[in-house]
Structure 1
């Protein structure tokens, strides 16, 4: 019984240390994006992943074409890349361009010039967090991280020592330049997704895939 209490105590201590070790600041409005002044606090159930947004009523069905601008890498002082290498930032920006284009292709015709019934999508990579190798995978199963990650998996929350990606989405009417939708997001894989813990950028890439799919669904 005494040994069990000791193990439980170590588990709680381990979880506390891991939580402190992987804590990150929450996404912000990012003062350097054009839509920053229009973003308001999101109070819906997805607020943990999309804390700020601008979302007026729009009839998306009238739009059948889209211009997807090249993904920008945020340069503002309020960016959340920490010490991520520039090469890794460029890798994620390229992956974001590919995945959002792929997700939107079934719904829209991709065009290069503004026209009637055309959207313009602007994506900005604003931050990212890598997954510590070995440790990220180990916490899926060890005594400290395993139970926490199981709960987070059920809740849809972020796993311990898991990477993530931060970005801003801005959607305009390509002809009128009217802002139709904007939000900032933090995306990450399911807390028990083991494959997303292999490779320092794998969790961020899975987050990009999720974000692309969610946007495609929202514009249907």
Structure 2
């Protein structure tokens, strides 16, 4: 079974640092493929990846969000067929809509019994939550709203009060996600992974997102409720 993990987040939030930490501490011994697109912060150099035995599949069409319909599904299936990895990590570009990527993965795995969407995580710079919500609006909020787990970076630089205020803003957008606030240097990659994988609400979130996605597509479809009047005694 190939597990698929999506790690999203705005540029500079620390996605690459988190992925490196997970590769070094949590995914040891797993055959892993990292799919990232050219618009991300690609600071993971080829040498590092070769040592870990990881293959990079670059998206030829550039941004994942721009090629959701065709190429993305094909790339994912090709990777699975070619490498049979234990895990595929997807790092969408910083401005991608996480919900679109999740739906694209879902649409792909339903045709491939050996693949499953395992987790979808958003890395957020705790010091910038307020300013990003204000400046980037729905793009930023979509990454927060769609996440099963939100991992905050740079929390060690904040007062408890400021951190709690940032978490409260995130909670307004996503009441269900697990939010990890512990500074990363105090966390082992395995602890982060188990927090990500224990999110029991992931299925509910998926259902909600699928329903919303379908609602968008069937906007003109009306439901008629007949015979639901209750007679008062």
Smaller-chain TM-score bracket = under 0.3
State TM-score, norm by structure 2.
0.24
Hey, which of these two has a bigger chunk of helix by percent? 2
State TM-score, norm by structure 1.
0.25
